[in-house]
Amino acid sequence: MSLKTAVPDAPAPRLKKPSWKDPRLLLGLLLVLASVAGVSALVASQDQTTQVLAASHEIPVGSVLEEDDFDVVQVSLGGLVGTYVSAADSFPENAVAGTIIRPGELLSRADLVQAGDLDRKPLGLDVQAPLPSGIRAGDRVDVWASLPDGQNGYAEPRRLLTAAEISELSVNESVIAGADATRLLVLVEDEDLPALLGALSNQAKIAVVPNPAAR
């Protein structure tokens, strides 16, 4: 019988402690540091807030803007800081609202215009017919007028304005307009004013029809 010579087992490899000079360790450390720095920068940017002005009530187009019309609010605007009026700025003088500013909306610099620069003028209309439920300032309406025909009636109505924007509306309880009349302020371009003013001066009956497609 032949004897087999036993081969000694190879020694198990021993784990080495990572060295600070190991490029893989240095790369991992750099990645961790970069991630922490990025998160810190993001949190810091989100914490940067600015005091700006927000409307305390609804402001119709053409209204002269006063500082009392606004509250100071703290908001984070990021890159839009220059878009809105800061509470630290001097309040603009002789400025009017170029568009409807609703309660809570921030005052944009684009909302500020001079009265002479408005391309539409608010004109008051008294409407006897009930308005549709839910209609409000900012909605668009077509304005129709029926002139008296001289025989205690009215002629066929004509559309004088298409998609006119409502600037303001309220119930008018005057004796002249009637208790059920609604007073509308609609924004009228200069070229449309003569026809509408002529109809009003001739005691035309005014009706408005919502024009939601013009939004």
**What CA–CA distance (Å, rounded) separates 71 from 54?**
5
Q: Number of helices and strands (H, E) in the chain? A: 2, 9
Residues 67-121 have pLDDT tens digits of: 999 999 998 877 777 888 888 888 888 888 888 888 999 999 888 888 777 778 8
Q: Which CATH architecture has domain 50-115?
A: Alpha-Beta Complex (3.90)
| Cβ-based neighbours of 172, under 8 Å, separated by 6 or more | 126, 178, 181, 182, 183
Residue pair 118/175 in contact by the 8 Å Cβ criterion: no
**What CA–CA distance (Å, rounded) separates 184 from 196?**
14
Domain boundaries, the chain: 50-115, 119-214
Q: How many CA atoms lie within 13 A of 177 on its CB side?
A: 19
pLDDT in the model for residue 211 = 87
pTM of the shown model: 0.57
Q: pLDDT tier at 21 (50, 70, 90 boundaries)?
A: low
pLDDT in the model for residue 197 = 92
Look at 172 and 146; give whichever has higher pLDDT.
146
Look at 151 and 17; give whichever has higher pLDDT.
151
Residues 155-204 have pLDDT tens digits of: 999 999 999 988 888 765 554 444 567 888 888 888 999 999 999 999 89
**What CA–CA distance (Å, rounded) separates 207 from 196?**
12
Backbone phi, psi, residue 72, to 5°: -95, 125
